[in-house]
Amino acid sequence: MTSTTAPTAPLPAAASSALSRLHAAFPVVQAVAVYETAAVHAVQLAALAEAGPLSDLDADSLAHAEDLMAGARATLASAGRLDLIDPLHAKAAEYYALAAVVDRLSSRESHYMTSSDWQEVYAAQEEQTRLHFELKRAGRLDLIGGA
């Protein structure tokens, strides 16, 4: 080994920690990639099906794409990350994030809150209301604990 060659082992603690975080996130990243790729393929095959009957190979391919999407969706659901593939789940996640802001700020006694704190509370509540109505129109209040 020459003096210009960098050592390869062991990994520094910071690099090992970063690698562990990436390794833990890999199934989620992989599931998003699988879902998105299979969804594009399924849309293409569905458009082909609208034009006429599918060949056996195309029908099998469509079924496989739907199976891949279901598996990826299950992986993301178990990780609590459906927001990565479903806009309504993303809106629900945003709703809950705003609720946390409101809870954090409103837990203070009112005489300790600044005018910018109040503005932040009102803006968060206004955005929560907008998201609530979007989810209600979509029939998905169940995502935020509603009926």
The alpha carbon dihedral of 20, 87, 71, 49 has a sign of negative
Q: Are 105 and 134 in contact (CB under 8 A)?
A: no
Q: Element (H or E) spanning 144, and its range?
A: none
Instruction: Note the pLDDT tens digit of each residue in 6-61.
Output: 666 777 888 888 888 888 789 999 999 999 999 999 989 888 888 888 899 999 99
Q: What is the C-alpha to C-alpha distance for residues 15 and 23, in angstroms, rounded to an integer? A: 12
Q: What is the C-alpha to C-alpha distance for residues 120 and 128, in angstroms, rounded to an integer? A: 12
Instruction: Note the pLDDT tens digit of each residue in 113-135.
Output: 888 888 999 999 999 999 999 99
